[in-house]
Structure 1
Amino acid sequence: MNKQQFLNSGLLEQFVLGLTSPEEDKIVQQYLHKFPELNNELNALHQAMDQYALQHAIPPPKSQYPAEAYDANAYVSDSHYRFNWSLLTTIVLAFLSFYLFRNNQHQQKDILQIEAEHAALKTYCQTSQDKVQAQLLMLDKIQHPHTQSIVLAGTEIAPAHFAVAHWNPTLKEGWLDPTKLPILPKGKQYQVWADINGEMISIALIPPNSRELISIAYMDNAESINITEEALGGADHPNVDLLMANATL
């Protein structure tokens, strides 16, 4: 068992009370040697026991001492542990209560951690489900009878690469599959443009190195679709020197 499991086992409290077997004593000593910081816990338990003993020690009747010689505090300090069995039982129960209280605290902490992990997992599952549902809805639209699939061929910069756009004049929606475009270096991303009367209008920013179908803005009068490499965050005007793929509509 690890250090936390050892602390939760109650062996240290039983060791302080002298309730452990020789085999259990060896186990406690091994953990004290392996984890020196446990000695702080041991000392704290001893101090708690000492304090309890001082508060509950039983002094002899005053009649056994001359009045001028009687000092209850001195007697308690000297005798240190004059317990009766009832007091010993009380101390054992007190330490067991302390152990159960601390163990309950650890259990509560574990429960809170499990609940947090469950909530995070639930959120992740819900996010994943929403994402899948959105992709399925997008695929249904791509299969719409009025959806046109257009291959954006790679330019001289990337002749072996391409992208596929899906354009639907009826739904007035568009989508793009960027999975066949080259991987970009860090700090770069692709931007999609529609050519309308000679003016390039940005219709989408492709998330860096995305491998998923994305939505692009539909433009009624678009004459072509173009993809350029831009700095992360996109640009107001396309970098025509880094035109990666395009197609006429």
Structure 2
Amino acid sequence: MESKEYIESGILELYVYGLLSESENDQVTAMSNKNPEIKAEILSIEKAIINLSSSFSPFISHSQFEKIKSQLELKHSKVVDIKSRGSLTAFIGWAASIVLLIGIGYQYSKINDTNDQIKTIEKQNMQLQQTVVDLDVQNKETEKVLNVVRDETNTIVALAGQTVAPTAKAKIYWNKQTQVVYVDASGLPTPPEGKEYQIWSLKLAPQLTPTSIGMLANFNDNRSKIFAVEKTGDAEAFGITLEPKGGSPTPTMEQLYTLGKV
């Protein structure tokens, strides 16, 4: 290609604007180093562009400006169009990747939130089930207590506090027909560690004869403090002593908490 054709091709304007590829830039640089006319044209274009950026300097002729303008618009539009598509594709790719990452992160966060919610709901369900069980137990205990208290066939024996515990008190609900015995221990203090209350059915004549009819085990766990003990049919009195856990064969009279005659 002759110098004139090369100059009129518009490639030099694109070179000055930095719109050529690396290989094309290298080619123009090589041509300008070999051809003074091309190098002079590059300097002229650079000067014209500088003047153009300074509000169209009067030193640039109208024909030269139009030539530069038309050549730049023609080549610039083609190159920019190609690069725009490339840039747009790259931008869309990056945008899609970012959206994908955001979407994955959002979904991961939602999954974690859902798992946490499931665990919370499961825990709440377990607590609710336990509450239902506890209420059922309480209802049964309450029903048992009411049945004992309302049973008109029961003989109620009040047990008064003794020397070791003057303020202590208890009640015996004794059905003489069925021989079933319930103890209301709500008036007794909580037994110390390693100790339990023992219930005694007493015969007073011809001599005092105590018979153990049970222990008030798990005292703290019994909310109603109503305890079912062993049956008895011939009691003349009832007493409650504090004994080592598991009970004693005979009552410890120094630890007699309550006593009452039938």
TM-score by length of 2: 0.55
Counterpart residue number, 2:231: 218
Quick check: 2:215–2:247 contact (8 Å CA) kept in 1?
Answer: no
Counterpart residue number, 1:98: 105
Q: Could you tell me which amino acid in structure 1 is paired with residue 219 of structure 2?
A: P
Q: Does 1:242 align with 2:249?
A: no
Counterpart residue number, 1:126: 133
Q: What is the distance in 2 between the residues matched to 1:191 and 1:228?
A: 5
Cα deviation 1:208-247 (Å, max 9, x = unaligned):
356622222221233432211123x332333222111122
* 1:180-199 mapped onto 2 (5 Å cutoff): 180-195=187-202, 198-199=209-210
Q: Does 1:203 align with 2:210?
A: no
* 1:103-118 mapped onto 2 (5 Å cutoff): 103-118=110-125
Report the number of matched residues: 169
TM-score by length of 1: 0.57
Distance 1:139 1:190, change over 3 A: same
Cα deviation 1:127-164 (Å, max 9, x = unaligned):
22332233223322332221010011211212232111
Quick check: 2:183–2:228 contact (8 Å CA) kept in 1?
Answer: yes
Q: What is the distance in 1 between the residues matched to 2:225 and 2:193?
A: 18
* 1:25-174 mapped onto 2 (5 Å cutoff): 83-174=90-181
Q: What is the distance in 1 between the residues matched to 2:167 and 2:248?
A: 28
Distance 1:229 1:222, change over 3 A: same
Quick check: 2:201–2:235 contact (8 Å CA) kept in 1?
Answer: yes
Q: What is the distance in 1 between the residues matched to 2:217 and 2:256?
A: 14
Q: What is the distance in 1 between the residues matched to 2:261 and 2:141?
A: 28
Secondary structure, aligned partner of 2:247: coil
Alpha-carbon RMSD across the aligned residues, in angstroms, is: 2.9
Q: What is the distance in 2 between the residues matched to 1:83 and 1:186?
A: 79
